[in-house]
A and B are shown apart, each in its own frame.
Chain A
Amino acid sequence: DAGITQSPRHKVTETGTPVTLRCHQTENHRYMYWYRQDPGHGLRLIHYSYGVKDTDKGEVSDGYSVSRSKTEDFLLTLESATSSQTSVYFCAISDQTGGAGQPQHFGDGTRLSIL
């Protein structure tokens, strides 16, 4: 299994509070991604990173920010959590040295509930 650790695994918080989720990898992969999974939507890309301090927006980036100060860590921050951000969040990594179509490997997710 790819060495990907997401923390926390579960979190309950209140509307309006900031929340930070962490993704840590031990594979030294260049690319890292944050997705959210919701019923009826599959997985949707929030933000991704293609190197240290290099990040870009995905499909559903509003209300989220990311940071990557080290190769191994990719942080997702909800600046002011809203109930619509209740979801399961997945981190993924990939190494494009294998060329286009290299699969992404996923962590086990963080279940976030915002009350």
Chain B
Amino acid sequence: DQQVKQNSPSLSVQEGRISILNCDYTNSMFDYFLWYKKYPAEGPTFLISISSIKDKNEDGRFTVFLNKSAKHLSLHIVPSQPGDSAVYFCAASGGFQKLVFGTGTRLLVSP
């Protein structure tokens, strides 16, 4: 039973445009949500997080939006850069810092 879902396996965007990556979850007990970026042959790198008491968190080019009623969150990258090309994982925390990950979305930003 996949509690965190990333339904788009891949996304292609042109440099300078907005990238929107989506994530859905089923467990209403999740209280923190995180996004990680992963390059090949490297470990995931933390990008940005949001608490369930907020609906938006921004860090430079990265903004995460949380819609609790829809159990949906999204990561916006503006403007997208070729160096952003990577696999992005959504993760949710249900306490004790045990993370549940989605299956990832591969983002390709073309020049």
Contacts and interface: CB of A to CB of B under 8 A. Distances in A.
Interface residues of A, number: 27
Among the interface residues B4, B93, B95, which one has the most CB atoms of the partner chain A within 10 A? B93
Contacts of B45: 106
A39 B95 CA distance: 26
A44 interface: yes
Given A43-B44, A90-B43, A109-B43, A104 B99 contact: yes
Contacts of B70: none
A101 B93 contact: yes
A29 B45 CA distance: 17
A90 B99 CA distance: 13
B43 A100 contact: no
B10 to A, nearest CB: 13
8 contacts: A41-B103, A43-B91, A45-B100, A58-B98, A90-B43, A92-B43, A100-B32, A103-B46
Shortest 8 CB-CB contacts between residues of A and residues of B: A106-B43, A101-B32, A42-B101, A103-B46, A43-B101, A42-B103, A108-B43, A106-B44
